[in-house]
């Protein structure tokens, strides 16, 4: 009876350890997204809105998953240097200027991109901070 109990306790302990261990990637994403949310609030929310809804035809929303996916390597440049080119988002053209946020570090930019691309209906996983540096070398 006693040995049976020990076996049950042992196995449930092992199970608990397994379940409580999220993969490294999941933890990373949670951390990125939660820091990214704070950074978004401080730097982006005034214009793009608390739900990424944008503002009329002045400021584009951030819920065009297809746009975000196909322009993923440009997002870091958009944030760091600003945007003055026309963009087509959700089938609408936006030609306003976005100011650059040159004070943001690579890790900040990675966290903001991770937050945006996993909120407002987007679900695109972690954008690692190492990628920011490579993407920024390709800005035009």
- The answer to whether the beta carbons of residues 115 and 95 sit under 8 Å apart is no
Q: Is residue 15 close enough to count as binding another protein by CB under 8 A? A: no
Helix (H) or strand (E) holding 25: helix 24-43
Report, in Å, the least distance between residue 46 CB and another protein. 5
For residue 138, give every residue at least 6 positions away whose Cβ sits within 8 Å of its Cβ, in sequence order, or none.
Answer: 73, 77
Q: Which of 3, 4, 24, 56 binds another protein (CB under 8 A)?
A: 56
- The answer to whether the beta carbons of residues 47 and 59 sit under 8 Å apart is yes
Crossing angle for the helix pair 24-43 and 106-116, to the nearest 10 degrees: 100
Crossing angle for the helix pair 129-137 and 72-81, to the nearest 10 degrees: 80
Tell me which stretch binds another protein (CB under 8 A): 65-73, 91-99, 104-112, 117-125: 91-99
Q: Which of 7, 58, 66, 139 binds another protein (CB under 8 A)?
A: 58
Report, in Å, the least distance between residue 104 CB and another protein. 14
String marking each residue 121-140 x if it binds another protein according to CB under 8 A? --------------------
Q: Is residue 79 close enough to count as binding another protein by CB under 8 A? A: no
Residues in 30-49 at the binding interface with another protein, rule: CB under 8 A: 45-47, 49
């Amino acid at each position: 009876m006693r040995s049976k109990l020990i076996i049950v306790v042992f196995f449930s302990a092992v199970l608990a350890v397994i379940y409580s261990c999220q993969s490294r990637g999941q933890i990373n994403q949670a951390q990125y997204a939660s820091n990214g949310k704070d950074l978004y609030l401080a730097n982006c929310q005034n214009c793009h809105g608390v739900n990424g809804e944008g503002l009329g035809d002045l400021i584009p929303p951030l819920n065009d998953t297809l746009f975000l996916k196909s322009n993923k390597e440009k997002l870091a440049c958009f944030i760091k240097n600003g945007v003055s080119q026309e963009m087509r988002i959700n089938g609408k053209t936006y030609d306003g200027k976005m100011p650059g946020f040159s004070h943001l570090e690579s890790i900040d930019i990675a966290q903001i991109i991770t937050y945006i691309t996993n909120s407002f209906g987007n679900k695109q996983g972690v954008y690692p901070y190492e990628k920011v540096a490579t993407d920024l070398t390709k800005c035009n």
